[in-house]
Amino acid sequence: MAEVLNMQNISKSFYMGEEELEVLHNVSLTVNTGEFLSILGPSGSGKSTMMNIIGCLDVPTSGKYLLSGNDINELDEIELGFIRNKEIGFVFQSFQLLPRLSALQNVELPLIYAGLSSSDRKQRAAKILDRVGLSDKTRNLPNQLSGGQQQRVAIARALVTEPTILLADEPTGALDQKTGAQVMELFEELNHDGRTIIMITHDTDIARHAQRVVKILDGNLTEQGV
């Protein structure tokens, strides 16, 4: 199985005035193609910082991060933006859909940046919306959709560029238990189809849906079952 992500001794520090605060401490992590990994930790554990580094939204203070063979530390902002668009599909707790755009138009957005034609964008967006069970909601605005449907649109948007990794940050955090379970079923189906998924969560029950769980606490990563 091919290695898609390799973090070696990753540390991340922030400065508060003159005081240096180390949020991640020599974190090492490897993820293979087709894995479903959950990073489990409470608020303040460092999991958001970890997510930002995995998603190339931030860079480590020290250590090495290889994503699909690319050394992230060696990339400039333009190259990081290209990597984010090509390699990472983001799913957020709050959906982050544009309210004045239809479900189809929201899913199309990343393809505009990828340079696809209008007809190709619409075709691919419609296909992905069908995959997440929303073929009858393509023209609906976000406020005409339930929370679970909005999250499915967000998942479709994350998938439409065929990213290497689907990176989900508390994907059920804004949903009730039943709807959250349905979204997790979709993640499991996508993983069964071969999608590589990394999910950040504080919820042990949600974390158990993944094939593999690592725990983060006080900036330290440990691998163990839940």
Quote the pLDDT of residue 30. Answer: 95
pLDDT band, very low/low/confident/very high, at 223 (cuts 50, 70, 90): confident
Can you tell me the distance from the alpha carbon of 29 to that of 78, in angstroms, rounded to the nearest whole number?
A: 25
The owner of tokens 């899913």 is 107
Separation CA 50–CA 77 (nearest Å): 19
For residue range 134-181, list pLDDT tens digits in order: 999 999 999 999 999 999 999 999 999 999 999 999 999 889 999 999
Residue 197 confidence (pLDDT) above 90? yes
Residue corresponding to tokens 């992230």: 72
Q: What is the mean pLDDT of the chain?
A: 92
CA distance 80 to 59: 10
In tens, the pLDDT along 33-85 reads 999 999 999 988 999 999 999 999 999 999 999 999 999 989 998 898 888 88
pLDDT at 226 over 80: no
Biggest alpha carbon–alpha carbon distance for the chain: 55
Q: Give the chain's domains with CATH numbers.
A: 3-223 (3.40.50.300)
- Note the pLDDT tens digit of each residue in 83-140: 888 899 999 888 899 999 999 999 999 888 777 889 999 999 999 999 999 999 999 9
pLDDT category at 1 given cuts 50, 70, 90 is: confident
- Whole-number pLDDT of residue 15: 85
Q: What is the pLDDT of residue 114?
A: 76
Residue 225: pLDDT band (50, 70, 90) is low
HEC per residue, the chain: CCEEEEEEEEEEEEEECCEEEEEEEEEEEEEECCCEEEEECCCCCCHHHHHHHHCCCCCCCEEEEEECCEEHHHCCHHHHHHHHHHHEEEECCCCCCCCCCCHHHHHHHHHHHCCCCHHHHHHHHHHHHHHCCCCCCCCCCHHHCCHHHHHHHHHHHHHCCCCCEEEEECCCCCCCHHHHHHHHHHHHHHHHCCCEEEEEECCHHHHCCCCEEEEEECCEEEECCC
